[in-house]
Structures are given as C-alpha cells and as structure tokens.
Amino acid sequence: MSNRRKYLNYTTPWGVDLARVAQSGWTPFLIHESGYQPALNDWNHQGVDSPFWRFYYNPKPGCHLLFEGREIPLGPKRAVLIPADTVFDCCGPVKASHFWLHFTTARPGVSMPAKPIVIAVDDLLCALLGQLIATHREPSGELRDHRLHHLSAALLHTVFAALETEAPPPMPERIVDVLALIARAPHSKLTNPFLAERAGMSVERFIRAFREHTGHTPAVYVLSTRVRLAGEALALTDKTIDQIAVEFGFPNRHYFSRMFARQVGCGPSEFRARQRQRKGR
C-alpha cells in the first residue's frame, strides 16, 4: 500500500503567492446588475451619476458618451469603464444595442479619477462579451443568473487586470481586518478607540497607520463608507430614508441628509429620484 502524502504548505517554490495580493487593497467585486438590450429606442440620458461603477459595451456603432464636452464613441472594438461618481451623458442618435454592468469595488489608498476609461476589446474580451450576451438571450432562471454572475466577474477581472494603475503598498492584516469590519457593520459605533482596540494598537498609532495606508483618517473613511453604502441602498432598494439612515449608522434622518448632501451634492430624496428617473441606465 502506498503512503498517503500530506500537503501542509499553501505555497510551493514554483507558484506565485497571491495571499499578499488579496490583502493589498482590492475588495471583491459586488455586482449589482448585468443587462443587455439589443435595440433601445431612446438611450439619451443627461447628467448620469451614481455611487457605483459601470461597464458599457455596444456591439453596434452609432452611440456615444459625452464627458466634459468630449465624445466617447461606443462600438464593437471599444468598451468604457466608468468609475463611481462620474457624471456623463448617454447619447443615442440611433437604436442602442447595449450591454452593461453595475458594480461596486474599492481600493483603499489608491484613487481612480472620476472619468470614463476607454477599454480596447481584444479577442479575450470579445469572447467573454459574446458569452454574456448569449447567456442574456437564454430563458430566465436561477442557473442562467448564476452563469451571468460568474461570467460578469470574469469580465471585470479581465478588464481590471489590464488597467495601468499603481499597486498599493502592502497593507497590514490588522488594518485589512478593520476595513472589513467597517464594510460589514457600518451601523456599529465605529469610534477611533473601538477600531484601535480591534486593531490591537493605541489610538494615536492606529490613526497614524490608518491614514498612511488608506489616505484618510478613520472618521473620514467611516463616513465615506456609510454614505457610499447608503447611496447604493437608495439606488437599488425601496427602503425608506429613515431605515437607510439607521442601517448605515446615522443617528437620525436629519444628520444623514446633511452628511449625504455634503458628500454627494444633493439630499437622499433628490438622489433617489434621479436614480429612479434614469432607471440605472
């Protein structure tokens, strides 16, 4: 009888250790929506803005985005990645054959300019987009939706892998754990002493380390996260503004509205009305 081998090591001398990359700042993609319409009669939307990212691809030419006076054509050879909080116009002089993804991601310590990023559609992206569009044409069902999710994630990973951005500095595990806690429980009392204790640091050392690795103080980061998550809830759910305020850690609706308007530029009610008017497209 042959002896059974026990593999106790996670890594080998021949592979690439990716654990450090997993802790370097990218959070997993949270995909809100994948959609495809072969012929939209009216794809004209002014001042589109949202708290989530978008990926746009039009298999047929003729439509474009307008950003700060610059036309960005869409067509079979180019797609567009649009970071959160980017304001742009959709221009559809012809019927729009349109595929889109709405998703959220964050990268502490690295900022992405709020402007569309043109993506060249190579053979790999073309194949993935073809699979996604073909899957959208299948009868609706749980299995189809699971396939759409996995294909959408594969597409986003492929797109982001090609972006020429600086790699963030390695982030200590204790800071990563605090960031995960903030995202997981934004309703908690996330004070500096509480977060410092979770990180196993003194308050002064924690604030200094947090700012070094995220570019913000803990208080600013917590507020920004709460506003971002609240914006997603306003855009994507029917929860009341009072419910959203409590769920994301604001003491009352008045304070939530004031902080939201300060960061987003309009109050929660106006923001939600805009999103419903544009139907997320």
Residue with token string 């889109």? 100
Q: Which residues contact 195 (CB under 8 A, 6 or more apart)?
A: 178, 181, 182, 206, 210, 218
CA distance 100 to 55: 5
Q: With respect to residue 146, please indicate whether it lies within any of the assigned structural domains.
A: yes
**Are 139 and 43 part of one and the same domain?**
yes
**Are 149 and 31 part of one and the same domain?**
yes
Residue with token string 């116009």? 89
> What range defines the domain where residue 210 resides?
173-278
**Are 32 and 147 part of one and the same domain?**
yes
Total domains, the chain: 2
pLDDT of residue 281: 41
CATH number for the domain including 40? 2.60.120.280
DSSP bridge partners of 90: 45, 65
**Are 251 and 185 part of one and the same domain?**
yes
CA distance 13 to 8: 14
pLDDT of residue 244: 95
In one letter, which amino acid is 258? R
Average pLDDT for runs of 10 along the chain of length 281: 56 63 58 90 89 92 96 97 92 95 72 88 97 95 91 93 71 86 90 95 95 88 90 87 95 94 87 68 41
pLDDT of residue 138: 95
Residue with token string 């999710």? 149
**Are 73 and 157 part of one and the same domain?**
yes
**Boundary (domain end) residue, out of 161, 194, 222:** 161
**Boundary (domain end) residue, out of 161, 183, 207:** 161
Q: What tokens does 246 get?
A: 């409590």
Q: CA Rg, the chain, in Å?
A: 21
Q: With respect to residue 16, please indicate whether it lies within any of the assigned structural domains.
A: no
